[in-house]
Amino acid sequence: MAALNLNVLTENAVRLGARLQETLSEQTRDLSLRASGSAYLDNPEEKVKNIRKQLDSNSDREKLEAMKRLLALVSKGRNVSEFFAQVVKNVASHNLEIRKLVYIYLLRYAEQEPDLALLSINTFQKDLSDPNPLIRAMALRVLSGIQVPMIGSIVMLAIKKCAADISPYVRKAAALAIPKLYHLDSTHQPELIKIISTLLKDQSPLSLGSVAIAFEAVCPTRLDLLHQHYRRLCRTLIDMDEWGQVDLINLLIRYARVMLPRPIPATAAGSSLSFDVDSDLKLLITSAEPLLQSNNPAVVLAVARVIYYLAPQNELPKIVPPLLRLLHVSPEVERIVLTNLAITSSALTDVLAKSYIAFLVRADDPQRVKKDKVRLLRAVVNPENYPSLLREFICYADDADDELVADSIQAIGYIARVIPESTQQCLTALMSFIQSKHDVIVANAVLVLKSLVQIRLQQQQDAIAYGALPSTFSPLEIISRLARRLDEIRHPKARACVMWLVGQYAASSAAPDNSNGLTHAGPEGIAPWAPDVLRKTAKSFTQEAPAVKLQIITLAAKLLVLSPADRTIGLLNRYVFSLARYDLNYDVRDRGRMLSALLAGVAPNVLGDSDDMHEDVGGVVLRREQVRLVLFEGKSSAAEEPAATNGTLHSPFAHDDHGRFGSLAAVTGKWAGSDNYLPDWLEEGTESSLRDTEADVPQPPVLTAQSSAARSISSNSARPTPIVLTPTGGGASPAGSFSRQQEGAKAAYMDLDRFYEDTEETEETEESESEESEEDDGDDDGSHQAESSGEESDSDEDESEVEHLQGTAR
């Protein structure tokens, strides 16, 4: 070989010398080292015109230069299809370099100029027999690229010819041409299927991946064709190229879901340690599993899909370390893998909890990554690791990224809810946030505190036995602290929130012991700090945001109901209500009018003296107890809605996890076509003897030994590449397998109850987890479900009040 090279070199050198002498005089400027490159890119117009002449010239050099110019124009985005005719002529050139460039050009423009391409179709057909496999493949690619239905049968012939080629590379090109022809003219389907099933027998691993693509495109439902090849495909998986592995794995997953029985726990008692796994399914899993060590992240995720969707529960943890490894590959890969991990987080909580340190958020992570990491950290909170996670979240609250701040403060609230013993620490942290100088931190902390307070009060009501309530942070203590810090809380939502809390619980503080709680049946009186809040806010009423104004008047009304005799409160009320009546915002005016009408019976002298409104309106005047009921009971039990059910609204996928793991839809959160849809298991798979081939019968599938053997063969010896068609047992009879399939389906029907039980079990747990995490992203506070379907808790409150009002009035 070296000698050969040398010969060629010397020969080249000689010719070079001769050539150089000829051309040096005219070409000296081209001899700069950049000559082959950007010189072509600045094409003056006259040179463009020249191209045509150059293409027609006799000199290879001229032609080559013309072709390069053309490609340069292509890369500039210019349409050069006008030269098509001249270029096509050169397709038979003896110079390989020119030919390759011509084919590149043709691949681009054959579809735009089908008529011209048709003229040269003979050349392409001739090239299908070229000794160089590269040219054969190129010719086929161009042929299949010409989108003219008329030549469908010619392409068909070409594909047939190439499918039997000796070079696996050409066979691969043939497989890739199949979907294009099918797209062009679907009447060829039967023949194409025949070719596909021939190609499936291919011994070379190179083309199998492309065959899988062709299969998915042409006959995705004919999984029965795979019976005979299934085991061999599984075993050759490891020897294929990485892209083929991904494509084939996706096909095999679908096959397994449709044709193989699902793994069921071996013992009915439900000890989840051992599973009955069909041997064919096991074959797929065990032959895919080593590929978790692949260099290619797409392969790793595909294998993870195999295990996630096919393997029995107890094998799921295997996918975690490889996925965690991917987090370090590149930022893009990290972002996608995190999203996928979040999907698995419900099934794999325990495993992920052990390696939560992989999800610690770095200050320089991209936004999406931060969000997903917090989601994952939330998902793995458990009684063992909560102290360190809490520390992390507290740390993130200082981040410069507002979204991360919000997420992590909400996560603290979440910890406080799910881990009762952590409540004290969480509250301490949240209270300290309120003193922060940054609005975002304060606002989020207040929102979370509000929901916590409500839950706590609810719990108090539910079970007084909760005797061990920490005295420093009893809910009312929190409210009073919040009230005291009102001046520093500037975020409108947070301010509104605090005021609502003050108003709602102003009464109960006088009688904390009397805690059949929210009915406020305790003795009269108002917490000492409540009127002061009203005083302060009344002063600043005009500068407040509308949401805050609404709460100020609500607060005023509530205090008045609680203590109608108090003169100061009366005066404050009068002041606030008159401001509200002339406010610019009609919501505020509305609310003011409604509340003053409500209060007409409570303290007529306070609100009514300047006005005769309620007399005009007529209708029922409510007694104080009624008003009180309306104002305070509007949504008392709102806080304790279970956080689970609502999340479905956010994710259209929550109900069916058919192939969501590892899909584009999971990443963009939008529908992306249903290609990745995974069917549910059949209750009983198809007969395994279907998959027996003659080669299989003597040797049971001892997979590990075999695939390693296959691999060592493939790499050690110079393997003869020509196709050896394995004698397969006379071809699968589709009819037979079809009836079997139906039987399987029938069996599933007969046992429908169990079938549903099974699926529901697994799916439910998954849902609730993912929902919880998603739902909290959107809502201002996690627990506050019923009232906070959107963001404006106030307006909802409003509605419920109105409803109550109507109810009582009638």
**Residue numbers 150-169 binding other proteins by CB under 8 A:** 167-169
Residue 515: other Cβ atoms inside 10 A = 14
- Our CB check for other proteins shows the closer of 464 and 713 to be 713
Q: Rule CB under 8 A: say whether 516 interacts with other proteins.
A: no
Q: Rule CB under 8 A: say whether 671 interacts with other proteins.
A: yes
Residues 100-129 that bind other proteins (CB under 8 A): 100-101, 103-104, 107-108, 111
Q: Which stretch binds other proteins (CB under 8 A): 27-35, 519-527, 536-544, 578-586?
A: 27-35
To other proteins, the closest distance from the beta carbon of 157 in angstroms equals: 20
Q: Where are the alpha helices (DSSP H) in 582-695?
A: 586-598, 604-607, 613-617, 624-633, 664-668
Residues 285-314 that bind other proteins (CB under 8 A): 290-291, 293-302
Q: Rule CB under 8 A: say whether 47 interacts with other proteins.
A: no
Name which position in 130, 191, 398, 590 contacts other proteins (CB under 8 A). Answer: 398
Residue 351: other Cβ atoms inside 10 A = 18
- Our CB check for other proteins shows the closer of 333 and 621 to be 333
Q: Where are the alpha helices (DSSP H) in 485-520?
A: 492-505
Q: Rule CB under 8 A: say whether 769 interacts with other proteins.
A: no
To other proteins, the closest distance from the beta carbon of 503 in angstroms equals: 30
Amino acid letter, 640: E
Q: Are 120 and 109 in contact (CB under 8 A)?
A: no
- Our CB check for other proteins shows the closer of 98 and 576 to be 98
- Our CB check for other proteins shows the closer of 5 and 605 to be 5
Q: Where are the alpha helices (DSSP H) in 463-545?
A: 475-484, 492-505, 529-539
Q: Are 390 and 424 in contact (CB under 8 A)?
A: no
Reading the block at residue 284, the tokens are 């797929």
Per-residue mark of binding to other proteins, 717-756 (x: CB under 8 A):
xxx-x-----------------------------------
- Our CB check for other proteins shows the closer of 516 and 708 to be 708
Q: Rule CB under 8 A: say whether 149 interacts with other proteins.
A: no
d(CA 791, CA 779): 7
Residues 432-491 that bind other proteins (CB under 8 A): 437-438
Name which position in 193, 213, 352, 390 contacts other proteins (CB under 8 A). Answer: 213
Phi, psi angle pair for 147, to nearest 5° = -90, 65
Residues 233-262 that bind other proteins (CB under 8 A): 238, 241-243, 246-247
- Our CB check for other proteins shows the closer of 168 and 570 to be 168
Residue partners of 114: CB distance under 8 A and separation at least 6: 146, 147, 148
Name the nearest CA neighbour of 582 among 533, 535, 542.
542
Q: Which stretch binds other proteins (CB under 8 A): 256-264, 408-416, 418-426, 716-724?
A: 716-724
What CA–CA distances, in Å, run from 505 to 213, 369, 533, 795, 805? 65, 40, 13, 19, 21
Q: Rule CB under 8 A: say whether 132 interacts with other proteins.
A: yes
Amino acid letter, 65: E
Residues 339-358 that bind other proteins (CB under 8 A): 357-358
Name the nearest CA neighbour of 504 among 354, 357, 635, 632.
632
Residues 6-25 that bind other proteins (CB under 8 A): 8, 11-12, 15-16, 19-20, 23
Place of tokens 């032959």: 287
Q: Which stretch binds other proteins (CB under 8 A): 271-279, 333-341, 608-616, 784-792?
A: 333-341
d(CA 640, CA 518): 13
d(CA 36, CA 439): 60
Q: Are 691 and 227 in contact (CB under 8 A)?
A: yes
To other proteins, the closest distance from the beta carbon of 138 in angstroms equals: 8
659 Rama sector, left if φ>0, alpha if ψ -120 to 50, beta otherwise? left
Q: Which stretch binds other proteins (CB under 8 A): 115-123, 257-265, 324-332, 517-525?
A: 324-332
Residues 407-436 that bind other proteins (CB under 8 A): none
To other proteins, the closest distance from the beta carbon of 275 in angstroms equals: 22
